[in-house]
Amino acid sequence: MVAGAKRREMKEAQKKKRQMKERHRQEDSISSAMVIWNQEILPHWDSATRRVRELWWQGLPPGVRGRVWSLAIGNELNITPELYEIFLSRAKEKWRSYSETNGGASLADRESSLDLIKLDISRTFPSLFIFQKSSSELGVFQVQGMSFIAAVLILNLEEAEAFITFANLLNKPCQMAFFRVDHDLMLKYFTAFEIFFEENLPRLFSHFQTNSLTPDLYLIDWIFTLYSKSLPLDVACRVWDVFCRDGEESLFRTGLGILRLYEDVLMQMDFIHIAQFLTRLPDDLQPQTLFTAMANTHMISRNRRWAQVFSAVMKDGNVKEAEKSSSSPALRS
């Protein structure tokens, strides 16, 4: 027994040593990347090279992440910090009016709406206490579910810049389609996704079809929150890094990467367990594991990339065919 205990202690000590070594390696890598981004890339943003894209794929250092996201997403809406202050002032005024308004059903309705906002905020990364007491930062962003996106931005950007980035992010075609619940356009995104799904993972694709597991049952939540609800926060930030680099294609590539990573597990599950599993992915998911699966996912179908495939789906306008493969009650309701 003593010998066995010593072996276990030695094995645990070796494990901790490896973890500490890996941690130091990652810290050194982040420090080196910080220098490169701050001194070589950001000052010459408009002339970014292929090397920058490769470095970007490896993950942005936390110290520059927000700035890079902001630059990559841009500000086509031309929102200024001054305009944000106006929005914030109006949001605070409405927030105060909820508690000051009197009058029967109207008051009840307003309190109900406020309660929903507070509930949604409290559910946003419950382990991060910065969002539990003072929530006015999220209030100005608030539509139920958007708080996950807002929270990630607030963690990485100053308040005004976070709002500017948030507004421009939601103005992107894919996000606009999902937040407006444009059924026809969403179905086309699902159709394009399933083309790549079937080509990359035919066995799992067939299993999903057998169990009537349609893309809307998991993709809506993933796209709606940019994976910030379903993935561990550090992994979600890495996904955001690539989303800011590659646009909407990366969101569907991420989805296929997740399905590839857990293919063997999902093949053993039925409809209910698959839906539950994909709603909240394992907390021990490591960024590099997911990104390896994403790297092994081919976003080319018959010599056409995502944009070309999606454009063809848009051009065909065959929504009825899309409905055959993506016709769950969740989307039709």
What whole-number distance in Å separates Cα of residue 202 and Cα of residue 71? 38
> Does a structural domain hold residue 60?
no
Give Cα 301 distance to the centre of its chain.
Answer: 24
Q: Looking at the structure, tell me whether residues 127 and 255 fall in a common domain.
A: no
pTM score over 0.85 = no
Residue 71 lies in a domain: no
Give the lowest-confidence range in 136-140, 190-194, 310-314.
Answer: 136-140
Looking at the domain assignment, is residue 205 inside a domain? Answer: yes
Kindly state whether residues 201 and 161 are assigned to the same domain: no
pLDDT at residue 48 in the model: 73
Q: Please give the tally of structural domains in the chain.
A: 2
Q: Please tell me the predicted confidence (pLDDT) of residue 60.
A: 92
Does 227 reside within a domain?
yes
- Residues 149-161 as b or e (16 or more Cβ within 10 Å = b): bbbbbbbbbebbb
Q: How far apart are CA 257 and CA 261, in angstroms?
A: 6
The mean of the pLDDT values for the chain is 81
State whether 300 and 180 are in the same domain: yes
Asked if residue 155 is part of any domain, the answer here is yes
Given 108, 143, 171, which residue is the final one in a domain?
171
Q: Domain boundary residue among 144, 171, 198?
A: 171
Residue 242, in any domain of the structure: yes
CATH number of the domain at 161, please.
1.10.8.270
What is residue 238's DSSP assignment? H
pLDDT for residue 8: 78
Indicate if 258 and 279 belong to the same structural domain.
Answer: yes
How many C-beta atoms surround the C-beta of residue 180 within 10 A? 11
Asked whether residue 200 is assigned to any structural domain, the reply reads: yes
| Residue 67 DSSP SS3 | helix
227 and 312, same domain (yes or no): yes
Nearest to 297, CA basis, from 234, 255, 245: 255
Mapping DSSP to helix (H, G, I), strand (E, B) and coil, where does residue 262 land? coil
Q: Residue 300 belongs to what H/E stretch? A: strand 300-301
Q: 153 and 200: one domain?
A: no
Please give the pLDDT value at position 302. 84
Which amino acid makes up residue 164? Answer: I
Q: Are residues 157 and 182 in the same domain?
A: no
Token digits of residue 44: 């010459």
Q: Is the dihedral of CA 298, 301, 305, 306 positive or negative?
A: negative
Beta bridge partners of 304: 301
How far, CA to CA in Å, does 240 sit from each of 52, 90, 301? Answer: 16, 30, 24
Within 17-114, strands assigned E span none
pLDDT in tens, 145-170: 688 898 899 999 998 999 999 999 99
Q: Which domain holds residue 128?
A: 81-171
Residues 190, 257, single domain; the answer is yes
At which of 129, 148, 171 does a domain end?
171
CA distance 91 to 88: 5
Reported as a single tens digit per residue, the pLDDT across 195-221 is 999 999 999 999 999 999 999 999 999
205 and 245 in a common domain? yes
**Residue matched to tokens 């996201």:** 69
Which of 197, 177, 230, 173 minimizes the C-alpha distance to 325?
197
CATH number of the domain within which 275 lies: 1.10.472.80
Identify whether residues 167 and 178 lie together within a single domain. Answer: no
- The answer to whether residues 182 and 316 belong to one domain is yes
| 167 and 180 housed in the same domain | no
Give a yes or no: residue 48 inside a domain: no
Rounded average pLDDT over 301-306: 89
Q: Report how far residue 209's alpha carbon sits from residue 195's, in angstroms, rounded to the nearest whole number.
A: 13
Question: Residue 151: which of 164, 135, 167 has the closest Cα?
Answer: 135
pLDDT digits (tens, 9 = 90+) for 63-119: 999 999 999 999 999 999 998 888 888 877 877 776 666 544 444 454 444 454 444
**C-beta separation of 305 from 299 below 8 A:** yes
Report how far residue 313's alpha carbon sits from residue 32's, in angstroms, rounded to the nearest whole number: 43
Residues 16-48 pLDDT 10s: 666 666 665 665 677 788 889 998 899 888 887
Cα–Cα distance measured from residue 59 to residue 68, given in angstroms and rounded to the nearest whole number: 11
The C-alpha atoms of residue 89 and residue 162 are separated, in whole angstroms, by 16
